[in-house]
Amino acid sequence: MSLGRPFSHFRRNICSSSILKARRSMKPTPLPFPHNTFRGEDTDLEAGTLHFDVERSSFADNDLPRRLRLASDVNVKSLILSSKLFNFVAADWDELPTELQNALQHVIRHPTLEKLAISNFKNLPVSLLSAASFSTLSIHHAKFRRSKFRERKNTPSDIVTCIKSFDFRLTPLSSIRALVRDRISTDSLAIDFSSLHSLTGMKLHLADEIAAFKEVVKVSPNLKILHCEVKGEVPSSLAACRSLKTLVLLFHIEDELQDPLLSLPDVLSEMSGDNVLVEELLMNVHVLDHRSCRTDAMWWRLDDILSQSAFHSLRRVSLKIIVWVDDDLGFSAEELEEKRQREALKEELEKIGPSQFTWLSSNVKFEFSVSAVTYLQSETDPEIRRYLQSDIL
């Protein structure tokens, strides 16, 4: 018998084994839970992001709670909870099956969770967010309520949810009050905001929105970054933010007689009585289409107040003025005149940089720009989009 035959047979076995292993390695890694559990569009296992949508089928799927609990086997960094019910109806927490509530609570208290985002929910108990490890909270169009006795009783008191970054929009004042005031016991708040570092995404337009802002500021003595959108006037309550280091403001100018700084110098004047820690002041001023804007000495007040010794920590000031132009302007005499007026306004605003901000130009890093932008450009031009968002945190 030839000695070559068994050797070649052995070699073929090795090759076959190697090919088989290679084919096996090319198979996708099996999920720890079925693919139809976290079906939200933002689910990304590699990034550790899970997105769960409450759907009509969620109420009748008896196996869903078990599958949700399998998330314990994943290194979850971010969790998104939202509603995908018909006609964009908000999901009512109190109407969810008890087992589904408990399973979602289990995922929220995942030990590796860092970020939680909730949108389009109502009747959420504050205790749902208690005893968790995440420190970044984002809520949008969500309504919270005080926790019931049974919910408080079932909440561990030895772990405290400490929020360091908070973003809320379209959230009622009653919900914010519940979040900052609700307690698990007489000695323990449901959520601790005392270490809050960053507060972003707010609109300070209506009285309730300003009142909600006050509620959060009262319990956040260590706030360092504030980013908000203002119409009307900057609320005087902003002067209470003594620990701020970075202030980002988005202004909307709707009236040509309106103070273009929306009373910001007056609020800064209130702050100047103390040692102000602000290092960065970043402002985007939006002059809406078919509106004008003052170009007189009203702007100089910002230069004047920031030159005071109380603002000794100030290092950088950015002022971007965006003159919005209607996309639909054509070539009629009236429309051409509107275009000419927008360009003239832009040129007049460009002159205030060197004339009204002399102290800022010489003593800090001062960035000043004026741009005329159409709405179509803001949606389709990558460079314009980067420009508009460059100071947005």
- 173-181 vs 207-218: helix axis angle to the nearest 10? 10
Looking at the fold, whether 56 and 113 belong to one and the same domain comes out as yes
Which of 159, 191, 223 is where one domain is finished? 223
pLDDT digits (tens, 9 = 90+) for 37-68: 898 999 998 899 999 999 999 999 999 999 99
Looking at the fold, whether 231 and 219 belong to one and the same domain comes out as no
Which positions ≥6 away from 270 have C-beta within 8 Å?
Answer: 236, 239
pLDDT digits (tens, 9 = 90+) for 308-318: 989 999 999 99
Region 278-290: what's the mean pLDDT?
93
pLDDT digits (tens, 9 = 90+) for 86-101: 888 999 999 999 999 9
Looking at the fold, whether 76 and 186 belong to one and the same domain comes out as yes
Looking at the fold, whether 203 and 62 belong to one and the same domain comes out as yes
Looking at the fold, whether 40 and 64 belong to one and the same domain comes out as yes
Looking at the fold, whether 116 and 242 belong to one and the same domain comes out as no
Res 393: pLDDT? 44
In contact, 239 and 245? CB cutoff 8 Å: no
Res 158: pLDDT? 79
Is 6 within the bounds of a domain?
A: no
Strand 280-287 vs strand 165-169: parallel, antiparallel, or unpaired? Answer: unpaired
Q: What is the DSSP letter of 147?
A: P
Is 30 within the bounds of a domain?
A: no
* Percent over 90 (pLDDT), the chain: 69
Report residue 165's pLDDT band, with 50, 70 and 90 as the boundaries.
Answer: very high
In DSSP terms, 202 is beta-bridged to: 228
Boundaries of domain holding 123: 36-223
Which of 337, 233, 231, 249 lies closest to 290 in space, CA to CA? 337
State the CB neighbour count (10 A cutoff) for residue 358: 13
Res 335: pLDDT? 75
Looking at the fold, whether 48 and 127 belong to one and the same domain comes out as yes
Looking at the fold, whether 340 and 385 belong to one and the same domain comes out as yes
Is 27 within the bounds of a domain?
A: no
In contact, 194 and 220? CB cutoff 8 Å: yes
Amino acid at site 69? R
Looking at the fold, whether 234 and 210 belong to one and the same domain comes out as no
Least confident window among 45-49, 65-69, 264-268, 389-393? 389-393
Res 189: pLDDT? 93
Which of 159, 194, 223 is where one domain is finished? 223
CA–CA distance, 233 with 230 (Å, rounded to integer): 7
Looking at the fold, whether 243 and 212 belong to one and the same domain comes out as no
Is 300 within the bounds of a domain?
A: yes
More confidently predicted of 272 and 297: 297
Is 342 within the bounds of a domain?
A: yes
Q: Which residues of 366-391 are buried (b: 16+ CB within 10 A; e: fewer)?
A: bebebbbbbeebbeeeeebeebbeeb
Is 98 within the bounds of a domain?
A: yes
Write down the pTM of the prediction: 0.86
Strand 188-189 vs strand 183-185: parallel, antiparallel, or unpaired? Answer: antiparallel
Is 195 within the bounds of a domain?
A: yes
Please give the tally of structural domains in the chain.
2
pLDDT digits (tens, 9 = 90+) for 196-240: 999 998 999 999 999 999 999 999 999 999 999 998 899 999 999
Report residue 74's pLDDT band, with 50, 70 and 90 as the boundaries.
Answer: confident
Which positions ≥6 away from 346 have C-beta within 8 Å?
Answer: 323, 370, 371, 372
Which of 223, 256, 279 is where one domain is finished? 223
Is 100 within the bounds of a domain?
A: yes
